[in-house]
Amino acid sequence: MKQIVILILFISITACVDNNETKPTHEPFIGTWITIEAHKDAIPQSEWLGIQLVFKQNDIDSGTYQVIETPIDSIWHSNGVWYKSNYPNSIILDNSVDLDFDIKNDTLWLSKFLAEPGDSCIPGVPCPLSLNGQWLFKYRKE
């Protein structure tokens, strides 16, 4: 009888344990965001205001992003992939661009540095500005 009580107690305890290792962890930036500020080298870039950015998570350490109506494809591709970086609050876009992020309440800040201008802007439209520099985007959660 004593063994049955111990067995029931053991089963009860193990059934209540939350095993976080098997559950995927969602990154805090996952969701739909609307651009409310954009700057390049501290200069406002109004063409980005109102643009929607969507992050999805496919795996524990990767996912996809989509920028609806990207004004300049070399800054934000219309869609791509992201991977976790080895650094906290940092991800890698499209296997090449480091992107730092910070989230407070429903506000997301994204920062990335482009060392060289990208290949192209919108096809058929000349790039209106030099793309290299420090880009800072502020979003609100939709």
Give the CATH number of the domain where residue 66 resides: 2.40.128
| Residue range of the domain that includes 116 | 27-141
Q: Has residue 11 been placed in a domain?
A: no
Q: How many domains does the chain have?
A: 1
Q: Has residue 7 been placed in a domain?
A: no
- Check residue 119 and give its pLDDT: 44
Six-digit token pair at 139?
């979003």
Q: Has residue 120 been placed in a domain?
A: yes
Q: Has residue 40 been placed in a domain?
A: yes
Q: Has residue 3 been placed in a domain?
A: no
Q: Has residue 15 been placed in a domain?
A: no
Six-digit token pair at 88?
């906290």
Q: Are 105 and 120 in contact (CB under 8 A)?
A: no
Beta bridge partners of 62: 83
- Check residue 101 and give its pLDDT: 97
pLDDT by 10s per residue, the chain, length 142:
555 545 454 455 445 544 444 445 789 999 999 999 999 999 999 999 999 999 999 999 999 999 988 887 667 888 999 999 999 999 999 988 889 999 999 999 999 987 654 444 555 555 555 777 899 999 999 9
